[in-house]
């Protein structure tokens, strides 16, 4: 479980989002939505410890056999976080190795992740010789190869084609059904609506909604329509 209580996040004394209180539990697929600048990336970076909270609490409770509990967390930021001096295969392979996998198991999960993201044919290429979208796939594949309990993904579909995005989200939904937690931001609200069970909506420097997707939507309204209606109401 990941929970926050009266959480204020930002940089030094500047609060970007205030009064965040929510609990993410196993079996949840959470769509993190909001306009550019709403604080989605700041929240993600705060949850994983990159940015310390201004005030309030973040609590993690993971049941794990791994020596370092955060090896059970898969994190993919918006900016590319890859080793520019190695191949595609080695970048992905580093994920499970650093998470404590033995060699054979790390090789197995690496091959599976490369196949899922459709980059097996790029295995031998240096990562600085492939496109930005392919680099995004490498970064996500590395985290998938770790087989974590928690997936925190910031705009993972940026640069991905429709087919690969669908494959990725189908995989993540399978992990959620098996008990994992997925928190992902994306501007592709149609895709999120097809897979998410919960919504965390940030706007106007605060948490506007957290709860089941079905409770957030009005009858007969899509996630995209509901989001745009909420944004219009806030801007008035």
Cβ burial of 157 (10 Å; 0-12, 13-18, 19+) is buried
Q: Tell me how crowded residue 198 is: count the other CB atoms within 10 A of its CB.
A: 22
33 half-sphere exposure, CB direction, 13 A CA radius:
29
Cβ(33)–Cβ(200) below 8 Å: yes
Q: What is the pLDDT of residues 7-53, one digit of tens each?
A: 999 987 789 999 999 999 999 999 999 998 899 999 999 999 999 99
Percentage above 70 pLDDT, the chain: 99
C-alpha distances in Å from residue 142, one per residue of 3, 6, 36, 98: 26, 33, 26, 10
Domain boundaries, the chain: 80-148
Judged against a pLDDT cut of 80, whether residue 165 lies above it is answered with yes
Q: Are 82 and 73 within 8 A, CB to CB?
A: no
* Burial class of residue 137 in the structure, from the number of CB atoms within 10 Å of its CB (0-12 exposed, 13-18 middle, 19+ buried): buried
Residue 54 pLDDT class (50, 70, 90 cuts): very high
How far apart, in whole angstroms, are the C-alpha atoms of residue 16 and residue 157? 24
Q: How confident is the model at residue 122 (pLDDT cuts 50, 70, 90)?
A: very high
Under 8 Å between Cβ of 178 and 155:
no
């Amino acid at each position: 479980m990941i929970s926050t209580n009266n959480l204020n996040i930002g940089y030094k004394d500047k609060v970007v989002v205030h009064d965040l209180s929510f609990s993410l539990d196993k079996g949840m697929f959470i769509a993190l939505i909001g306009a550019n600048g709403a604080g989605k990336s700041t929240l993600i970076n705060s949850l994983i410890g990159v940015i310390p909270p201004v005030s309030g609490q973040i609590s993690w409770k993971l049941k794990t056999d791994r020596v370092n509990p955060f090896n059970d967390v898969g994190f993919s930021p918006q900016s590319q976080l890859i080793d520019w001096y190695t191949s595609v295969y080695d970048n992905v392979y580093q994920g499970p190795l650093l998470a404590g996998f033995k060699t054979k198991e790390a090789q197995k999960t690496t091959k599976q992740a490369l196949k899922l993201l459709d980059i097996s044919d790029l295995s031998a290429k240096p990562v600085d010789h492939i496109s930005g979208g392919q680099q995004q796939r490498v970064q996500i594949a590395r985290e998938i190869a770790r087989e974590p309990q928690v997936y925190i993904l910031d705009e993972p579909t940026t640069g991905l084609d429709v087919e690969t995005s669908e494959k990725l989200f189908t995989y993540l939904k399978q992990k959620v059904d098996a008990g994992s937690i997925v928190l992902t931001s994306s501007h592709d609200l149609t895709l999120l609506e097809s897979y998410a069970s919960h919504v965390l909506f940030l706007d106007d420097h605060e948490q506007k909604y957290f709860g089941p997707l079905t409770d957030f939507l009005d009858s007969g309204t899509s996630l995209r329509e509901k989001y745009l209606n909420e944004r219009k109401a806030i801007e008035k």
